[in-house]
Amino acid sequence: MFRGSMVAMVTPMKEGGSLDDDALYRLVDFHVEMGTDAIIVMGTTGESATLDETEHCGVIRKVVEYAAGRIPVIAGTGANSTTEAISLTHCAMEAGADACLLVTPYYNKPTQEGLYLHHKAVAEAVDIPQILYNVPGRTACDMLPETVARLAEVENIIGVKEASGDLQRVTRIRELCGADFAIYSGDDATGCESMLIGGDGVISVTSNVAPRLMRQMCEAALAGEREAAERLDAKVAALHAALFVESNPIPVKWAVVEMGLAPKGIRLPLTWLSEVHQPKVRAAMEQAGVC
């Protein structure tokens, strides 16, 4: 099982929006050096929605090859089409990813039965560990704990990224799914508390900017050291908020550029961080000691 601080990594791009492989490799090295526990590539923060399938699979393949076993790589392969999700998951498996992260089908608003059948179909079609991803604020679709519990019975569905920010969900999923089913917070602001009450880690936007602090916080939280975990979390609390002053990944891409890790590139319909918000993000970075 994957545990700890897992970065929802940005996808570096040049100013015209083309992918930057050199910067991609720098980011992998950066997270290996900082002790990040796993890289999630081609998730929401990686702008997966703006890459075509060839690009999407190519980025996964390049990260897996360059990581070369130094750090686990979990590939985002979700889609609102079941056939597309299966295709992307096949690509990730063939590339050698350690697991896949599959967001609930967005926009088309399936029922709970539809969610169950969608994820079950992907899991049965592709023999790779799979993590469910519930983020109703972005998908207009909320996978309930009872549906997660049904899917937990599928052999290669190993966990869930719960990004609702509702800590009661962590407790309920643990009750329904047992100790062996992984629960990852997808909400940085509640990630520390999520681990303290039984979660297994956080799939984090903040880890792009303050990976060492996030790893230290996760280690303390997973060890049940509440005082230490909360003290470390307080150092990045401003980042948790500032990195969402505009839609993710707009602020975090600006921050990564400020750190000199990537060029200034993002794809429409996302735009560069507004000047009015830049001082807030910079102040949060300064508070965390990363600039």
Q: From the annotation, which residues make up the binding site for pyruvate?
A: 45, 203
Question: From the annotation, which residues make up the binding site?
Answer: 45, 203
Q: DSSP label at 19?
A: B
Phi, psi of 187 (to 5 degrees): -130, 105
Work out whether the CA dihedral 63, 68, 70, 72 comes out positive or negative: positive
> Tokens at residue 245, please?
């002053």
Q: How far apart are the first and last CA of the chain?
A: 33
Rounded distance between C-alpha atoms, residue 21 and residue 65, angstroms: 12
Active site residues per annotation: 133, 161
Torsion angle of C-alpha atoms 33, 34, 37, 42, degrees rounded to 10:
-80
Bridging pattern class, strands 73-76 and 4-8: unpaired
CA distances from 162 to 1, 44, 47, 68, 169 (A): 16, 14, 19, 28, 8
CA distances from 52 to 49, 58, 203 (A): 8, 10, 23
Rounded distance between C-alpha atoms, residue 187 and residue 44, angstroms: 13
Q: Are 201 and 4 in contact (CB under 8 A)?
A: yes
